[in-house]
Amino acid sequence: MTSIAIPRPAYAERPWILDWLTTVDHKKLGILYLYTTMFFFAVGGILALLVRAQLAVADNTFVNNDAYNQIFTMHASAMLFLFIIPVWAGFGNYIVPLQIGAADMAFPRINALSFWLIPPAGLLMFSGFLFGGASDVGWTAYSPLARSSGVGLDLWIISVIILGVSSTIGAANFMVTMFRMRAPGMTMFRMPIFCWTMLVTAVLQLLATPVLASGLAMLYIDRNFGGSFFDPNGGGNAILWQNIFWFYSHPAVYIMILPGMGIISEILPVFARKPLFGYKAFVFATMGIGGLGFSVWAHHMFTTGAVLKPWFGFMTFMIGVPTGVKMFNWLGTLWRGSITFEAPMLFALGFLSMFLIGGINGTFSAAVPVDFAIHDTYFVVAHIHYVLFGGAVFAVFAGLYYWFPKIWGRRLDERLARIHFALQFIGFNLAFFPMHLLGLDGMPRRIATYSESSGWETLNLISTIGAFLIGVAMIPFIINVVMAFLRPKDQPNDPWEGNTLEWWTTSPPPVHNFDSLPEVHSERPLWDLRHGKAAH
Amino acid sequence: MPSTGKLRVIRRVNLLISAALLAIASISPAFAGWGMPEPITDQAKRIQDLWVFTLIIALAVFFAVEGALLYAIFRYRKRSDELPKQTHGSTALEIVWTTIPVLIVITLFSYSFIVLRDVEKKAPSDALSIEVDGFQFSWQFTYDLARLGQGQAPAQEGTFSIIGTAAQEPTFVIPVGEPVEFRLKSNDVIHSFYLPNFHYKLDVVPGRDNRFVITANQTGEFTGQCAELCGINHALMRFHVRVVERAEFDKWVAEQVANKATVRQP
Ligand code: HEM
Ligand SMILES: [Cu+2]
Ligand SMILES: [Cu+2]
């Protein structure tokens, strides 16, 4: 075994708090990202429970219509802009440099800026609640409705622009890091698959986010400086906003899920003790999804009557193909493996079984006439959550359980993890499966209440019970984390017999990450060391 | 005492049975129309057929993949320290499982394209045509006495309207068995005209002339509501449609016309 020695730099000691506030270390920033985004996950979750409490019974008056619109808007905004998009930047920050054998990100100070834009933007978005009401027009902020909403929407617009800046510069940083800083021997096609998904995500962010920012600037001008980009009465066009918004937000859907797929593709090979089946096919499928992602935005707009329906329907169907390829590759990875079921694997398998549903129920919206029926109903809410919760959130937990020993030097308890998984899996399906039936039966999304004569009460009650069960599922998780923090750090470099370079260094790694690096001959350098290259 | 091996088999069978029961319950025919409400127009019937067709393919894919996953989980759990064979992929398989989805997708697209073309057929020029105005937060349905359908000579000139409020949900009336056109208008924000039994919705967009046509095939009263967030009382923008025989429709129109309050003479 040969390895490349890396000189160890010297560091000045700083007070603890100053250290965290001024750090440019990708690992500390990654941890700050994870804490911040999990905080907003909790906030978004509490808002979701308020939504479910209101909808538990017909003609409920637990929250009024005005508050309801703010609550569901902020639920989605927090979950998307403050949790799921930046949480991947958090994992990416911590893991990507380690996986490619780098000492840090390419631009550590820009990295710190990317992170420090997020907390103030989050506070700004939520500060609407103090100034007469947060945004209440949905996370999609359709015009002309968005022209007349209160100041909460201005705060929301500014906040989302700031978050867009954060993810745009972050994307550039990730791209340069992966293009320029890979360990000797690590060609692009030996890069860990999580890095690949972060790379494609970064490209999407770089191309799509500025489009959203310009749309938001136009909306701000419409609202505050007498513009009429989106106002038909002033010569503007209401549909233009939707085109701009979805040109960003459909690719954004992949920004929200691709890194999760990457995490799953790291975990399955480790716990099935086989390489990822069809590594290259997987990379091309990821690129395919990214590319096709820019040609389907108007599938959110079939019922506007203002888009070329057959084209967007066809492209939307087509995007199912690379997604299917991934599913089969994951199955191929498990096939004839030697599978064990530690916590990361449980959540990864949860992802596979639930994301599958999110892929299938999305297909119905590609059949345009069926979309006429289910668009803007609870069927779509079910679809969103099978992708974003059944997919992305299960992947977040898979990643947390998987990298916890690396990041915090302790291992989470398996028994509590299993309880967490079981409760979350059951709660999730109880909460969201009934929504398919509600949507088919005609329950529109974004309604603050429904009448008893609609017959939607039973299914809504089941859904609410499921939602609260998800809340309960967080208790064993939190206990698990707290108990782990009370224990001393005791984890070896490589507790799972991992494949990739982050498992080569100590847990947690030193500031400079690596004292030495092994030679990289494949996408599984540590496997090669453990079993010899012949076994590869 | 059964052996542990036997116990494991029993547990596995139990699991399979409960999984199967769950699956059956979730597609139980108690939900007639495979989950969709009763279609009351020719167009809705077409959409429902497409839904059922898509659903069958979806369920087949679901059970195949979910089944393969469960099989892999049970069959390939770790039994010894021996390393499994390190297979890195298979070009042949990749081609197969790219081609199969492509074929499925082309089938689904073709069928949905045909249905799309049919449900978007334009109305004959002499069809009953109703202007639907969405506003915050109810609906107004305006009938033009010159466009009451069935080539009827206009009894008189003018229009009459049914106007609702969020508290007083409007009911409008259409005849069964003939094409009815809806012209959607809004002067404030975007709404969406959605009637679940039509299996159809179309947005009501300020500055756009959106129209659609249905042919009702059964009588009765049905409820719809706005499906695009339009402000604080969006949830209350409900409306009702009464589908009646032509004779009853004519009688209803006559009543409306007699009620001068709602008729504007040109
Ligand atoms: C505790 C778990 C969750 C529950 C119970 C929940 C519940 C809900 C419900 C009931 C709605 C529909 C509100 C309405 O249309 O009136 C909704 C909307 C939404 N949720 Fe969640 N949700 C949860 C987690 C998540 C997560 C993790 C994400 C994303 C990562 C997410 C993203 C969204 C989005 C994008 C919408 C659409 C909002 C809109 O129509 O503007 N949710 N959620
Ligand atoms: Cu989309
Ligand atoms: Cu509305």
Instruction: Give the Cα separation of A405 and A503 in Å (integer).
Output: 10
B84–A233 CB contact, under 8 Å = no
Residues in chain A: 536
Provide the shortest C-alpha distance from residue B102 to chain A (in Å): 6
Q: What is the DSSP letter of B191?
A: E
Position B109 scores a pLDDT of 95
Respond yes or no on whether ipTM tops 0.85.
yes
Give yes or no: residues B9 and B64 share one domain: no
HSE of A141, CA atoms in CB hemisphere, 13 A: 31
**DSSP states of A8-59 as a string?**
PPP-----HHHHHHH---HHHHHHHHHHHHHHHHHHHHHHHHHHHHHHSSTT
HSE of B197, CA atoms in CB hemisphere, 13 A: 19
For residue A306, the chain B residues in CB contact (below 8 A) are 205, 208
Give yes or no: residues B59 and B177 share one domain: no
B194–A442 CB contact, under 8 Å = yes
Q: In the structure encoding, which two tokens stand for residue A253, read together?
A: 């859907």
Asked if B165 is an interface residue toward chain A (Cβ–Cβ < 8 A), one would say: no
Give yes or no: residues B192 and B162 share one domain: yes
Q: In the structure encoding, which two tokens stand for residue B161, read together?
A: 């309207």
Region B174-179: mean pLDDT is 95
3-state helix, strand, coil in chain A (%, to 5): 70, 0, 25
Choose among A233, A336, A441: nearest Cβ to B85.
A336
Provide the 3-class DSSP secondary structure of residue B164: coil
Instruction: Give the Cα separation of A269 and A522 in Å (integer).
Output: 14
Asked if B74 is an interface residue toward chain A (Cβ–Cβ < 8 A), one would say: no
Provide the 3-class DSSP secondary structure of residue A407: helix
Per the structure, the count of domains in chain B is: 3
Biggest CA pair distance of chain A: 74
Give yes or no: residues B232 and B182 share one domain: yes
Q: Which amino acid is at A300?
A: H
Residue A140 near residue A252, CB atoms below 8 Å: no
Asked if B254 is an interface residue toward chain A (Cβ–Cβ < 8 A), one would say: no
One digit per residue, pLDDT tens: chain A, 536 residues? 456 666 555 566 778 889 999 999 999 999 999 999 999 999 999 999 999 999 999 999 999 999 999 999 999 999 999 999 999 999 999 999 999 999 999 999 999 999 999 999 999 999 999 998 999 999 999 999 998 889 999 999 999 999 999 999 999 999 999 999 999 999 999 999 999 999 999 999 999 999 999 999 999 999 999 999 999 988 899 999 999 999 999 999 999 999 999 999 999 999 999 999 999 999 999 999 999 999 999 999 999 999 999 999 999 999 989 999 999 999 999 999 999 999 999 999 999 999 999 999 999 999 999 999 999 999 999 999 999 999 999 999 999 999 999 999 999 999 999 999 999 999 999 999 999 999 999 999 999 999 999 999 999 999 999 999 999 999 999 999 999 999 999 999 999 999 999 999 999 999 999 999 999 999 999 999 998 866 66
Question: How many CB atoms are located within 10 Å of the residue B35 CB?
Answer: 20
Query: Does residue B6 have a pLDDT over 90?
Result: no
For residue B26, the chain A residues in CB contact (below 8 A) are 433
Question: Which ligand ends up closest to the CA of A71?
Answer: 1
**Distant-in-sequence, close-in-space partners of B218: CB < 8 Å, separation ≥ 6:** B40, B176, B243
pLDDT tens, B205-222?
999 999 999 999 999 999
> Cα–chain-centroid distance for residue B135?
23
Q: Buried b vs exposed e over A408-440: b needs ≥16 C-beta within 10 Å? A: bbbbbbeebbebbbebbbebbbbbbbbbbbbbb
Instruction: Give the Cα separation of B88 and A187 in Å (integer).
Output: 17
Q: Which of A357, A418, A344, A422 is nearest to A390 (CA)?
A: A357
Give yes or no: residues B8 and B20 share one domain: yes
Residue A168 near residue A212, CB atoms below 8 Å: no
Burial of residue A457 (CB within 10 Å: 0-12, 13-18, 19+) is middle
For residue A338, the chain B residues in CB contact (below 8 A) are 76-80, 82-84
Position A60 scores a pLDDT of 94
Residue B108 near residue A363, CB atoms below 8 Å: yes
For residue B200, the chain A residues in CB contact (below 8 A) are 372-373
Residue B26 near residue B59, CB atoms below 8 Å: no
Q: Which of A360, A451, A460 to mutate to test the interface with B (most CBs of B within 10 A)?
A: A360
Instruction: Give the Cα separation of A486 and A410 in Å (integer).
Output: 10
Position B15 scores a pLDDT of 67
User: CATH number for the A36-535 domain, one of 3.30.2130.30, 3.40.640.10, 2.60.40.10, 1.20.210.10?
Assistant: 1.20.210.10
Q: What is the DSSP letter of A391?
A: I
Q: Which residue has the higher pLDDT, B11 or B55?
A: B55
Question: How many CB atoms are located within 10 Å of the residue B190 CB?
Answer: 25
Ligand 1 pocket by C-beta < 6 Å: which residues? A 45, 48, 51-52, 72, 75-76, 79-80, 83-84, 138-140, 381, 384-385, 388-389, 392-393, 431, 445-446, 467, 470
CA distances from A146 to A139, A296, A369, B252 (A): 11, 24, 28, 40
- Round to the nearest angstrom and report the end-to-end CA distance of chain A: 16
Mean pLDDT score of chain B:
87
Question: Which ligand ends up closest to the CA of A70?
Answer: 1
Backbone phi and psi for residue B94, each to the nearest 5 degrees, phi listed first:
-60, -40
Give yes or no: residues B150 and B252 share one domain: yes
Give yes or no: residues B245 and B139 share one domain: yes
CATH number at residue B208: 2.60.40.420
Position A42 scores a pLDDT of 98
Question: How many CB atoms are located within 10 Å of the residue A275 CB?
Answer: 20
Give yes or no: residues B51 and B176 share one domain: no
| Positive or negative torsion for Cα A149, A136, A447, A313 | positive
β-partners of residue B264 are B159
- Round to the nearest angstrom and report the end-to-end CA distance of chain B: 92
DSSP-derived pairing of the beta strands B263-264 and B159-163 = antiparallel
Lookup result for tokens 């020719």: B42
Instruction: Give the Cα separation of A186 and A197 in Å (integer).
Output: 16
Q: Which of B155, B177, B182 is nearest to B253 (CA)?
A: B155
Q: Which of B172, B184, B174 is nearest to B262 (CA)?
A: B172
Domain ranges of chain A: 36-535
Range of the domain at B222: 128-264
Choose among A232, A361, A376: nearest Cβ to B192.
A376
For residue B77, the chain A residues in CB contact (below 8 A) are 338-341
Position B167 scores a pLDDT of 84
Find the closest chain B residue to A371 by CA distance. B200
Provide the shortest C-alpha distance from residue A50 to chain B (in Å): 17
3-state helix, strand, coil in chain B (%, to 5): 40, 25, 30
- H or E element that contains A148: helix A145-148
Confidence of residue B230 (pLDDT cuts 50, 70, 90): very high
Q: Which of A290, A291, A297 is nearest to A313 (CA)?
A: A297
Position B150 scores a pLDDT of 79
Strands of the sheet with B191-195, listed across from one edge: B171-175, B238-244, B220-226, B191-195, B200-204
β-partners of residue B194 are B201, B225
Give yes or no: residues B162 and B258 share one domain: yes
Position B259 scores a pLDDT of 79
Position B137 scores a pLDDT of 92
Could you give the residue ranges of the DSSP H alpha helices within A293-448? 309-334, 343-363, 368-374, 378-387, 394-408, 414-440
Q: In the structure encoding, which two tokens stand for residue A82, read together?
A: 């403050």
Q: Which residue has the higher pLDDT, B241 or B2?
A: B241
Backbone phi and psi for residue B173, each to the nearest 5 degrees, phi listed first:
-130, 135
Residue A92 near residue A26, CB atoms below 8 Å: no
Asked if A234 is an interface residue toward chain B (Cβ–Cβ < 8 A), one would say: no
Burial of residue B17 (CB within 10 Å: 0-12, 13-18, 19+) is exposed
Provide the shortest C-alpha distance from residue A81 to chain B (in Å): 20
Give yes or no: residues B258 and B150 share one domain: yes
For residue A328, the chain B residues in CB contact (below 8 A) are 93, 97
Residue whose CA is closest, atom 15 of ligand 1? A446
Biggest CA pair distance of chain B: 92
Give yes or no: residues B15 and B142 share one domain: no
DSSP-derived pairing of the beta strands B191-195 and B200-204 = antiparallel
Q: Which of B78, B27, B85 is nearest to B56 (CA)?
A: B27
Confidence of residue B29 (pLDDT cuts 50, 70, 90): very low
- H or E element that contains B131: strand B128-135
Position A133 scores a pLDDT of 92
Find the closest chain B residue to A285 by CA distance. B98
Position A1 scores a pLDDT of 43
Lookup result for tokens 């959409």: B47
**DSSP states of A85-111 as a string?**
HHHHHHHHHHHHHHHTT-SS-S-HHHH
**Distant-in-sequence, close-in-space partners of A96: CB < 8 Å, separation ≥ 6:** A102, A105, A174, A177, A178, A194, A195, A198
Give yes or no: residues B139 and B254 share one domain: yes
Residues in chain B: 266
Provide the 3-class DSSP secondary structure of residue A197: helix
Query: Does residue B164 have a pLDDT over 70?
Result: yes
Confidence of residue B257 (pLDDT cuts 50, 70, 90): confident
Residue whose CA is closest, atom 11 of ligand 1? A381
A373–B51 CB contact, under 8 Å = yes
Query: Does residue B14 have a pLDDT over 70?
Result: no
